[in-house]
Amino acid sequence: MSPKIEDSALTHMARKTDDNPQMLYEDVDEQEFQAKASKYLLNYGTQFNRDVICASKGLYVYTASGHKVLDFTSGQMSCLLGHGHPEIVQTIADHAVSLDHLFSGMVSPPVINLGERLCNLLPAGLDKAFFLSTGGESNEAAIKMAKVYTGKFEIVGLGASWHGVTAQALGAQYHFGRKGQGPLMPGMLMLPPPNAYRSIFRHSDGSYDWKAELDYGWRMIDMQSCGSLAACIVECIQSSGGMHVLPVGYLAALKHECTKRGMLLIVDEAQTGVGRCGDLMAINHEGVVPDILTLSKTLGNGLPLSAVVSSAEIGRVCAERDYCFYTTHVNDPLPAAVGDKVLEIVMRDGLVDHSRAMGEILHSRLNALKEKYGCIGDVRGRGLMAGIEIVESRETKTPALALGKAIGNRAYDLGLWANLSSHPSFGGVFRIAPPITITEDLLLSGLRILEEAFASTPGTLGV
């Protein structure tokens, strides 16, 4: 661990999380609040956790009953620097007082500063940005930009993808949320999901043949297309789809296929961006530069902030063709100031290298856990982003949803929150993505809790 990390305010904050924070909501009757939640809150596609969360601090969340839980998912994969980071809190307070929200046609120093810092950190060809609120919104804007720039309308997505719930983002999403609403956007086409663990495309030695699968997928796309292919949108790690990492060479091959067809490549780095995977951006891992990059989640450290970044040339053409994505909160100064501070902290404190080093420990320990428990079919990911797939047996690879839930519940009772993706479309996969400020001691502490959960849950098939 570098001296810069050791001495930073970030690590200081992480160390202080052993102290119970001041509860913002004290004396909460959990049963009463759960009853009110059931009565007054609409369902939006998930079941609420059984506890009411009344505080968050550093790398922990606290329930109304005082249960302290180490947060191994950074909230919704977003609190990159942990909860209540003091510099983020100060930035929010300063801008809430003096520069919070403006007319959407006005521009302010935080927005200009964020644009400058972000674009200077990205490869050439990602030259200009604008800022929105959510990942789905940024993907919606990127898809519209691709359509306006190319003059075409067909969009290619990958199976098991997740890009948001707005119309065009949802149309390019092949994981969940497509049913029950009638026709989706026209011209939406799908490539096979790059699932190295389960794909039927195999070399003679049994290894994953992603190239044959991708070539097959493009042949299917070309047969379906009406000749109006505008863009392909992709995640470098399909988190919601089960933490599947694109194989080495896949992104470059995808860019090549898009270029051949006069399409743009959009990369969605909602979860992988800003140091999470051991590179500043996941695209840096293999040096592939997309035509449009979208960011969200990690950029705002949990605040609603997203970005659309593209080339000066694409921006020029779209402006000439009256591209419009004018929203109430486009380029708002307060969240932009937070995003600028997040990038400043990540670069100043060497958190990209730290994430890579902690990721090596994480994956080493998870693979060691796999050697001990036969219910772990696969461990995958990169940096501080990992997936553990729970199966009934390694031979059949049948998802073990009930067992995964039991392990997750046990870990939670022991003081660790690791999200179990339980939708049948991707089976029982634990998604692990702690804040990248996590210390080695806290990382190992969380992993010990996870191992205890496996050891004390019946049916984990100890080897």
For residue 222, what are the CA distances in angstroms to 175, 191, 219, 260, 309?
A: 22, 11, 5, 12, 28
The whole-angstrom separation of Cα 25 and Cα 314 is: 48
Q: Taken in order 439, 443, 449, 455, is the CA torsion positive or negative?
A: negative
- Confirm if 117 and 343 have CB atoms less than 8 A apart: yes
Contact 342, 80 (CB under 8 A): yes
Residue 162: active-site member: yes
Q: How far apart (Å, rounded) are the C-alpha atoms in residues 447 and 441? A: 10
Active-site residue, from 268, 279, 389, 392: 268
Catalytic (active site) residue 100 = no
Is residue 353 annotated as a catalytic residue, yes or no? no
Of 271, 291, 340, 349, catalytic: 271
Q: For residue 131, what are the β-bridge partners?
A: 307
| All residues at 6 or more sequence positions from 69 whose CB lies less than 8 Å from its CB, including other chains | 60, 61, 62, 63, 412, 415, 416, 417
- Could you give the CA distance from residue 189 to residue 199 in angstroms, rounded to a whole number? 19
- Which residue among 137, 154, 213, 235 is the active-site one? 235
Respond yes or no: is residue 238 known to be catalytic.
Answer: no
First to last CA, the chain: 33
DSSP readout, 118-149? HHHHSPTT--EEEEES-HHHHHHHHHHHHHHH
Residues counted in the chain: 463
Identified catalytic residue from 57, 117, 147, 297: 297
Number of neighbouring beta carbons within 10 Å of residue 215: 14
CA angle 390, 393, 394 (to 5 degrees): 85
Q: Are 262 and 236 in contact (CB under 8 A)?
A: no
Point out the catalytic residue in the list 140, 162, 213, 341: 162
And the tokens for 38?
């059931």
Whether residue 391 contacts residue 385, with contact meaning beta carbons closer than 8 Å, is answered with no
Q: Mark 65-100 as b/e (b = at least 16 C-beta within 10 Å).
A: eeeebbbbbbbebbbbbbbbbebbeebbeebeeebe
Residue 317 class from Cβ within 10 Å (0-12 exposed, 13-18 middle, 19+ buried)?
A: middle
Active site residue 380: no
* Residue from 57, 147, 380, 431 carrying the catalytic annotation: 431
Q: Is 394 an active-site residue?
A: no
Whole-number Å distance between alpha carbons of 72 and 69: 9
Active site residues: 162, 235, 268, 271, 297, 431
